[in-house]
Structure 1
Amino acid sequence: MKLKNLLSGLLILTAALSTTAQEKAEFKPSGKASGKVFFNYHYDMTNGTKKESSFEIQRAYFGYKYHISKDFTASVTFDVGQNEGGSDYTAYLKKAQLDWKMSPVVKLSLGMIGLEQFSDQESFWGYRYIMKSFNDQYGFGSSADLGIKANIKITDKLYANAFVINGEGYKKIQDEDGKQKIGADLVFKNKGLIAKFYADANTTTVVDNGGNEKDVTVSALAAFVGYKFCDHFKMGAEYNKLINGSKYSKAADNHDLDGLSVYSTYIVNKKVEVFGRYDYLNSNKLDGETEKWNLSKNGSAITTGVQYAPAKGVKMALNYQGFMHKDTSIEDKSLLFVNFEFKF
Structure 2
Amino acid sequence: MKVRTLLIGVLTLFMGFSVIAQEQTEFKPSGKATGKVFFNYHYDMTDGEEQESSFEIKRAYLGYNYNIAKGLKASITLDVGKNDGGSDYTAYLKKAQLEWKASSAVKVSLGMISTIQFKEQEKFWGYRYIMKSFNDQYGFGPSADVGIKANFKLSDSFSANAFIINGEGYKKVQDEDGKQKVGASLIYKHKGLIAKAYADVLTTTLADEEGNETDVTSNTFAGFLGYEFSDQFRLGAEYNLLTNATNFSDLEEGKDMIGWSFYSTYTFNKKWEVFGRYDNLSSNKLEGEAEKWNLAKNGSAITTGVQYAPVRGVKMALNYQGYNFKDSNNEDNSLVFVNFEFKF
- How does the TM-score come out when normalised to structure 1? 0.93
State the partner residue of 1:3.
Answer: none
Code of the aligned partner of 1:223: G
Matches within 5 A, 1:156-235: 156-235=156-235
Deviation at 1:87, TM superposition (A): 0.8
The C-alpha deviation readout for 1:301-322, integer Å capped at 9, x for no partner, is 0000000000000000000000
Q: Which residue of 1 aligns with 2:107?
A: 107
Q: Distance in 2 between matches of 1:75 and 1:175?
A: 22
Of 124-133 and 202-211, more deviation after overlay is shown by 202-211
After superposition, give the CA deviation of every residue in 1:57-115 in whole Å (9 maximum; x if it has no partner).
00000000000111200000000000110210000000000001111111110000011
What are the equivalent positions in structure 2 for 1:273-312 lying under 5 Å apart? 273-312=273-312
Distance change in 2, residues 1:208/1:26 (3 Å): same
1:25, CA displacement in angstroms? 7.3
Following superposition, the deviation at residue 173 of structure 1 comes to 2.6
Residue segments in structure 2 that go unaligned for 5+ positions in a row? 1-18
Give yes or no for the alignment of 1:76 onto 2:76.
yes
Q: 1:13-50: CA deviations, max 9, x gaps?
A: xxxxxx7xx66971111000000000000000001111
Mapping for residues 27-46 of structure 1, pairs under 5 Å: 27-46=27-46
Cα distance in structure 2, aligned partners of 1:180 and 1:24: 38
Deviations, residues 87-146 of structure 1 (Å, cap 9, x unaligned): 100000000000011111111100000111001000000000000000000000001000
Q: 1:289 offset after TM fit, Å?
A: 0.5
Match of residue 153 from structure 1: 153
**1:207 deviation in Å?**
1.5
- 1:253: Cα distance to partner? 0.3
User: Which residue identity lines up with residue 176 of structure 2 in the other structure?
Assistant: E
Indicate the residue corresponding to 1:8 in structure 2.
none
Pick closer, same or farther for the CA change 1:308–1:215 going to 2, 3 Å: same
**Mapped partners of 2:321, 2:244: distance in 1:** 29
The CA distance in 2 between the partners of 1:98 and 1:52, in whole Å, is 44
Who is 2:254 aligned against? 254
CA distance in 2, matches of 1:88, 1:219: 33
The DSSP-based 3-state class of the residue aligned with 1:311 is coil
Distance 1:176 1:24, change over 3 A: closer
Q: How does 1:80-159 map to 2 (within 5 A)?
A: 80-159=80-159
Q: Identity rate of aligned residues, in percent? A: 69
- Residues 26, 175 of structure 1: CA spacing in aligned structure 2 closer, same or farther, 3 A cutoff? closer
CA distance in 2, matches of 1:231, 1:154: 27
Aligned length: 327
Which amino acid counterpart does residue 235 of structure 1 have in structure 2?
Answer: L
Partner Cα separation in structure 2 for residue 175 and residue 117 of structure 1: 19
Which amino acid letter does the alignment assign opposite residue 42 of structure 2? H
Decide which moves more: 102-111 or 314-323.
102-111
Q: Which residue of 1 aligns with 2:63?
A: 63
Q: Letter of the 1:326 partner, please give it.
A: K
5+ residue gaps, structure 1, are: 1-18
Q: Secondary structure at the match of 2:130?
A: coil
Inter-partner Cα distance in structure 2 for 1:38 and 1:160: 31
Secondary structure at 2:102 match in 1: strand
Which residue does the alignment assign to 1:243? 243
* Cα distance in structure 1, aligned partners of 2:296 and 2:254: 18
Q: Give the alignment's Cα RMSD to 1 decimal.
A: 1.6
Q: Return the alpha-carbon distance in structure 1 between the equivalents of residues 254 and 81 of structure 2.
A: 32
